[in-house]
Amino acid sequence: MAKFIINGGKVLKGEIDVQKSKNAVLPILAASILTEQKIKLNDCPDILDVDNMLKILVTLGCNVERFGKYVIIDSSPISSDEIPSKLAKELRSSIFLLGPILARLKKAKVAYPGGCDIGIRPIDIHIKGLKALNVNVKEEHGYIICDASNMKGADMLLDFPSVGATENIMMAATGAKGKTIIRNAAKEPEISDLQNFLVSCGVNVSGAGTGTIIVEGCGSIHGTEYTPIPDRIAAGTYILAALITRGNLTINNVVPEHITSLISKLTESSCKVQVFNDKITINNSKRIKAFEIIETMPYPGFPTDLQAPMSALCCVADGTSIILENMFETRFKHVSELVKMGAKIIVRDKAAYITGVRRLHGADVKAYDLRGGAALILAGLSADGTTAIDDIYHIERGYQRIENVISSLGGEIFRVR
């Protein structure tokens, strides 16, 4: 299994462009099957989750071609409405292919997506939303079998502003007769990006970002060329990497408002963060103060996907920080690995109490999930000595050549087989 080897203690300095958003691209790739015409997706990140989503589209019968930075999807030959178990388990977000397959083919058979390292990952809100659209849903032998031959628009309220469920229902609703109103919808920027993509394909959809989304179904949907938004979580991760090494960093081509919650937390802790219209500069050569409390919330609250990278920074902050993980049941698997590096962390239920130490020390550790793995990279960059991180495929699911980005800033990180 490939590993990252990190020699800690180097100060990160310089400028980077950040990759496009994994969590915008995945639903957009799913939405590409809504039209028989070609979709050209620019700057598609070269990460494992995208590779797996493209594999699933090919399994459905689509033609997929990657030309360096862009991908062309032609779903006109689509021939299957079934997502096999192996692929569904590999990629949790395959569940939001359900909506587009139903809109396009009116029936679907999708294997139950596995829970994953961060929680049970139920799909009850997805299913409830599809049933509200008059989709007949059966769950048999680990498969979800849907009949959408008579899908009708509906006015619904989500029990929780689930990102994936909002996206799934938006896409399904494009194939439902009449108007659909999705209330208590997720407000994440990736939802707005999916809406902008759908609008560029001719779909009549509005309200993303406000909590109430309206879709007029059964309009004609044509091909498009689209460039997704920057990855706000990757941007936040690199900002935290620079901070933990007491360096300075400018990130170009980002949308600062997408990480306002991180910026305000860092500012509270006297980190100097300069925000321009499409770039962010941080410059911090001293030990940062601990954060009184960080609570993960739906957008625009503090993102759960930055909880682990932030906990790494808290490990070397001056004082005790409290992190409450409100979104997922088991998203503290990185804590045991940080403790191996000398971190002082106590976890009780959904809270992590982190008492900052002056220095962490290198150790042999393991990535258990995508963002937890990123946290270990940050800890390794700031630690004395060498850190070896195993199971880095978790990290490569979502960060495009992270070792190259960090090396370009002066970090010593190597990928070894």
Residue 393 or 414: which CB sits closer to ligand EPZ? Answer: 393
Find the helix packing angle between 307-314 and 232-244, rounded to 10°: 10
> Quick check: is 201 catalytic?
no
**Which residue of 198, 398, 399, 405 would you call a contact of ligand EPZ, by CB under 6 A?**
398
Task: Please report whether residue 258 would count as binding ligand EPZ according to CB under 6 A.
Answer: no
Distance CA 264, CA 229 (A): 21
Residue 169 or 271: which CB sits closer to ligand EPZ? Answer: 169
Distance CA 377, CA 389 (A): 8
Residue 125 or 151: which CB sits closer to ligand EPZ? Answer: 125
Query: At CB < 8 A and 24+ separation, what contacts does 8-11 make?
Result: 8/360, 8/362, 8/380, 8/381, 8/382, 8/383, 8/384, 8/385, 8/386, 8/387, 8/412, 9/382, 9/383, 9/384, 10/245, 10/381, 10/410, 10/411, 10/412, 11/245, 11/246, 11/247, 11/410
Burial letters 95-131, b for 16+ CB under 10 A, else e: bbbbbbbbbbbbebbbbbbeebbbeebebebbbbbbe
Residue 56 or 360: which CB sits closer to ligand EPZ? Answer: 56
Tell me the C-alpha to C-alpha distance, in Å, between residue 364 and each of 20, 67, 361, 376, 389.
31, 37, 10, 10, 6
**Which residue of 323, 371, 372, 373 would you call a contact of ligand EPZ, by CB under 6 A?**
371
Distance CA 168, CA 126 (A): 7
3-state DSSP assignment of residue 362:
coil
Smallest gap from residue 8 Cβ to ligand EPZ (A): 24
Task: Please report whether residue 207 would count as binding ligand EPZ according to CB under 6 A.
Answer: no
Residues 29-48 contacting ligand EPZ, CB under 6 A: none
| Catalytic residue, candidates 62, 116, 146, 314 | 116
Specify whether the CB–CB gap between 116 and 369 falls below 8 A. Answer: yes
Task: Please report whether residue 125 would count as binding ligand EPZ according to CB under 6 A.
Answer: yes
Smallest gap from residue 79 Cβ to ligand EPZ (A): 26
Burial letters 381-416, b for 16+ CB under 10 A, else e: bbbeeebbbbebebbbbbbbebbebbbebebebebe
Smallest gap from residue 118 Cβ to ligand EPZ (A): 6
The torsion angles phi and psi of 145, rounded to 5 degrees, stand at -115, 120
Smallest gap from residue 328 Cβ to ligand EPZ (A): 5
- Give the interface segment with ligand EPZ, choosing from 21-29, 60-68, 244-252, 404-412 (CB under 6 A): 21-29
**Which residue of 16, 26, 133, 354 would you call a contact of ligand EPZ, by CB under 6 A?**
26
Smallest gap from residue 165 Cβ to ligand EPZ (A): 5
**Which residue of 14, 77, 122, 142 would you call a contact of ligand EPZ, by CB under 6 A?**
122
Residue with tokens 């949790």: 92
Q: Dihedral sign, CA of 245, 246, 247, 249? A: positive
- Give the interface segment with ligand EPZ, choosing from 20-28, 60-68, 74-82, 332-340 (CB under 6 A): 20-28
Task: Please report whether residue 10 would count as binding ligand EPZ according to CB under 6 A.
Answer: no
Residue 6 or 185: which CB sits closer to ligand EPZ? Answer: 185
Task: Please report whether residue 165 would count as binding ligand EPZ according to CB under 6 A.
Answer: yes
Cβ contacts of 141 within 8 Å, gap of 6 or more:
none
Residues 49-108 contacting ligand EPZ, CB under 6 A: 93
**Joined tokens for residue 197:** 């993509």
> For ligand EPZ, how many residues bind (rule: CB under 6 A)?
24
Task: Please report whether residue 164 would count as binding ligand EPZ according to CB under 6 A.
Answer: yes
Smallest gap from residue 49 Cβ to ligand EPZ (A): 7
Task: Please report whether residue 124 would count as binding ligand EPZ according to CB under 6 A.
Answer: yes
Residue 288 or 308: which CB sits closer to ligand EPZ? Answer: 308
Distance CA 138, CA 143 (A): 8
Residue 22 or 366: which CB sits closer to ligand EPZ? Answer: 22
Residues 292-351 contacting ligand EPZ, CB under 6 A: 304-305, 327-328
Task: Please report whether residue 23 would count as binding ligand EPZ according to CB under 6 A.
Answer: yes
Residue 164 or 217: which CB sits closer to ligand EPZ? Answer: 164
Distance CA 256, CA 274 (A): 10
Looking at the annotation, which residues are catalytic?
Answer: 116
Q: Report the interface residues with ligand EPZ, using CB under 6 A.
A: 22-23, 26, 93, 119, 121-126, 160, 162-165, 186, 304-305, 327-328, 370-371, 398
